[in-house]
Structures are given as structure tokens and as C-alpha cells.
Amino acid sequence: MFFYPGIPVYHSRDLVNWRLLGHALTRAEQFHLQLNHGNPMIYAATLRHHGDTFYIITTDVHGGGNFYVTAKDPAGPWSAPVLVDRAMFDPSLFFDDDGKVYYTRRGDLADKDIVQAEIDLTSGRLLTPLRSISKGLVSDDTEGPHLYKINGWYYLTMGEGGSRALHMQTIARSRSPYGPFDPCPHNPFLSQHHAWWHPIRAVGHADFVQSADGRWWTVFLGTRHASYDGHSTIGRETFLAPLSWIDGWPVVEATHTRQFTVQVPTLPLHPWAAGPARDDFDSVDLDPAYVQLSCPQEPRHSLTERPGFLRLRGQAATLGAARPVAFVGRRQEDMRGSFSLRIEFSSTSAKEESGLTVFQGAQFHYDLALTTRGGRPVVVLRKTVGDLVVEAATREVMSTSLWLKVDMTPDRYTFSFAEVEHEWRESGTALPNLIATEVAGVWSGALLGAYSTGHGQACVHPADIDWFEYKALH
């Protein structure tokens, strides 16, 4: 099961305010479905621009391998994938000033080194054998390599220590793109190892950017936590920090101040107009913020069959299956807030259900479902945590047109329903930690959305969603 469309592309004029332009992977053929079992998983993507072309290189770790797509406009359309190889992950591209292009990625699973070769970007063919250029600077677990050339030096920076609590960023330099690389004297130059209580943890997997005014910045991944023992439900997010070059080495002020909110001169701010909290589905296309679970090779939703509604046609597959399921949702971006919808779903089959879900993975999700028991409509709160599946609450209702809502705080999800607008009845609560990314074994964070399933058979009755509403509380 995977998210479609894939690889969101954002645009900013100030490195602070971002808007979603679209996605790089928007067609079934871009996912190499024929090369695996229809369940690709896209790992960390690297975006580069050279000449008049944008390049995104990434990995389908379930069989498609390392590939890149190109576009003249970052909003798309993006090309068909060009396959490079199928070993390991985290590829990156570097364009040298002599015209050569280097392909760098994580190496062998046993050695966990970094390997590199020259590449022909027309065909994806490697022009030289892959060579190991680093086995790590402070650990034996390296990933996410990037190569740069700055002031005559080739810099190799890597994420080390795994991608959880020990994540960090290191760097080394050489006069040759193949090394040998001399390590930075203050590695790791970016980390958060000093306190488990810090709200931002697991930082690393960094990239560098130089803004138009000549200043340097680093973007890197991290996870937000609300308490000492709090896990991450939102998943890995992108952070920004200023970067200085001192004696030829990068220094991230956030590391030295032990803060990850720093007061620095910024570029002239350019905020984008905020979209409405409620989507009434008045368009014939889904908002680009929404994703589905796997490619829609068969129709599972429609915005035209009933104008003004998102119609879901439930499949035999459930949220726990590795097959296409009728689902449309968006990412949870805030620890505090709410997600709600209005649904119309009339069915006499106890197998058919539709409703709201907080979805972290196939075995980790909370569902508030409208279905039928004994010929009567009911609302069921179901919790799926690993191999434990519990129907925590069942409430009879008189109507098959309901309002469903989940309120989010750092320590609980609260699920409610209403038969009359604004007259909410609580169905129950659930713990975010039990479906957190560290527990579910995923990186991308929870999705909030609507689903429909026939639990082994296609639904006869469609589910019509009148609107979605996402509200953040800060």
C-alpha cells in the first residue's frame, strides 16, 4: 500500500512560506508497478536543477529501484521514470563544473557505505563502476549522501546513526569527488543528542541551499514531540536553519545554541494566501493536498457522479489490505486541531462500511465507521494496533446521514458523531502513541480522511462525502 500521487513539490520565495505546486509521480506508469507487487514505497527524494531542467531522483524500495524523473516546470508534468539500478536507496545527483554528473547513494546493506559513479543522464547508464567513497565518519550506519563543490573543495555530507533518535549529519571534504575525504573536526555538525525532552528530535538527512543574497541554509528532517515520552504521530518533517562557513566547515547555529527556533535575518517574507479550512468538493478535480492509497487503476472515487460530493465506491479491500482501497485523505500537520466531514451512506449489509479514519499504516489506524448491525445503522469506533483489532464502541443512530469528527491533541484522539449538525456525541478516545511512526514503523505520519470498504466484496452502495474540514489549533 502506498500514497498516490507521490513526491509532493513545494514552492517558496523566502524559505519560510511554502505552497504545494503538485506532485512528481501522478501516473501509474511512473511507479514501476510491473516491477514489484504493486506496493512501491518511495524513499527520500533529492531535487536538483541544472540548465533548464529539474531532476528528482529517488528509490522505490519494493522493487522499482533507483530512478529519476525530469521536468522543465516544477509544477509538472514530470517525465516517465529513468531507471538507474535496483540496489539500496537514497540516491543523489551532483553536476560538476567540467560537465560530469555523479550518482551517489547508500551502498551495500552489510557495509552500509556510500558509493558513487559517473552517470549519463540521457539513459541513466552508469559510465564508471560504483566505488565506495565513505564508510561513515562517526558511525557505521550512513545514508542520504549529497556531494557539493564549494570554493574548490568537494564536500560529502551524510546522515548517520539511523533515522530515529541517533540521527545526525556529518561532512567531509576532498580535492577529488572520489576522496579520500577528510572529516570535519566538529562532526556531527547537526544533531540533537543532548536531551530526550527536546521537542525536536531525530534531526539529520540534511541538504544545503544558497539563497539569492548569498547566505547559506540547511534543510533537514526531524520529528516533533509534545512530551518526554511522546512519540511522533505527524512523522518526519522538514526544518530550516541558517548555516555559516567557518574555516571551510559548516556551522549550524541551532546546534550550538541548543535551540531549533533561531532569530536570524530572513529573506523578504512572501506568504501565500491560505486556502479555506473546508473543502466542499465543488471542483471536478481533487485538491493536490489529498492522497489515495495506491494508484487508481480502477475508479474508486468520483467528483462528477454527484456534483458537490466526493463519492467513494468501496472495494473488497480494507484499510488493512495491501490492495487498492477506496480512500481519500490528507496529512495531519498539527498536534492540535480537528478533522471532520459529513457523510451519506445507506447500506443494509453489515459488511459494507464507510467513515473517517486516522491512518498511520495498514496495521495501525483508528476508524469511526457508519455501518449496519441487525438491520439498523450504527456508528462503530474500531482500533487497529498491530495484531490487535478492537471495536471499542458501537452506537445506534437513526440516520444514515451523519457528521463525523476527530479532535486531536498530543495525548489523545477524540472521536465524535452527530445526527444533527453541531450536536456532537462522543464515541470514544484513542492514544496517538499506539499508532505513532516509531510504533508503526513508518516515516510519513498520519493521514486523516474518508474510506469505504465491503470487507471482502465490492460495496453495492456508494458513500457520498459532502465536505472535509481541517482546523489547526496553535
Q: Closest by alpha carbon to 327, among 358, 285, 304?
A: 358
Contact (Cβ atoms closer than 8 angstroms) between residue 341 and residue 450:
yes
Position 257 scores a pLDDT of 37
Query: d(Cα 141, Cα 463) in Å, to the nearest integer?
Result: 47
End-to-end alpha carbon distance in the chain: 32
Q: Is 38 a residue whose pLDDT tops 90? A: no
Q: What's the pLDDT band for 263 if we cut at 50, 70, 90?
A: low
What domains can you pick out in the chain, each with its CATH number?
Answer: 3-257 (2.115.10.20), 278-472 (2.60.120.200)
DSSP code of residue 31: G
Residue with C-alpha cell 541551499? 209
Q: Is 321 a residue whose pLDDT tops 90? A: no
What is the DSSP code string of 370-418?
EEEETTEEEEEEEEEETTEEEEEEEEE-S-SEEEEEEEEETTEEEEEEE
Three cell numbers written together for 54: 529539474
Q: How far is CA 345 from the centre of its chain?
A: 30
Q: Is 35 a residue whose pLDDT tops 70? A: no
Q: Is 79 a residue whose pLDDT tops 50? A: yes
Choice between 222 and 33, residue whose per-residue pLDDT is larger: 222
For 348-393, what is each residue's pLDDT tens digit? Answer: 888 999 999 999 999 999 999 999 999 999 999 999 999 999 999 9
Query: d(Cα 190, Cα 173) in Å, to the nearest integer?
Result: 16
Three cell numbers written together for 28: 501509474
For 133-159, what is each residue's pLDDT tens digit? Answer: 999 999 999 999 999 999 999 999 999
Q: What's the pLDDT band for 265 if we cut at 50, 70, 90?
A: low
Average pLDDT (158-171) is 95
Position 474 scores a pLDDT of 81
Q: CA–CA distance from 106 to each of 40, 58, 66, 133, 287 (Å)?
A: 19, 12, 11, 10, 35
